Amino acid sequence: MFGGSSLLKNRVKELRARFNLTQGDLAEKTGVTRQTIVSLEKGSYTPSLLLAMNIAEVFGEPIEQIFYKEEETK
């Protein structure tokens, strides 16, 4: 059993900027809406495994280099 709660964080915005992609570009490449990318970048949306894999493929990075857990501070 895991103790405490953790938040899923990501580097999508940072990587998207590095690759000169708009939110719309990334949405198109991964088969989701631009709003999904907006929510993902804000941290209010947890991606499915398939979406995370697609994003990792676009950026050529392992999933765990893009998405990571951060312990929630109380």
Q: What is the pLDDT of residues 53-73, one digit of tens each?
A: 999 999 999 999 999 998 877
| Segments making up each domain of the chain, as ranges | 6-61
User: Phi and psi for 3 in degrees, rounded to 5?
Assistant: -95, 145
Determine contact, residues 62/56, Cβ cutoff 8 Å.
yes
- The residue written with tokens 């109380």 in the block is 74
Determine contact, residues 6/70, Cβ cutoff 8 Å.
yes
The answer to whether residue 47 scores a pLDDT higher than 60 is yes
pLDDT tens digit sequence for 10-21: 999 999 999 999
Determine contact, residues 8/29, Cβ cutoff 8 Å.
no
**Residues 6-61, CATH architecture:** Orthogonal Bundle (1.10)
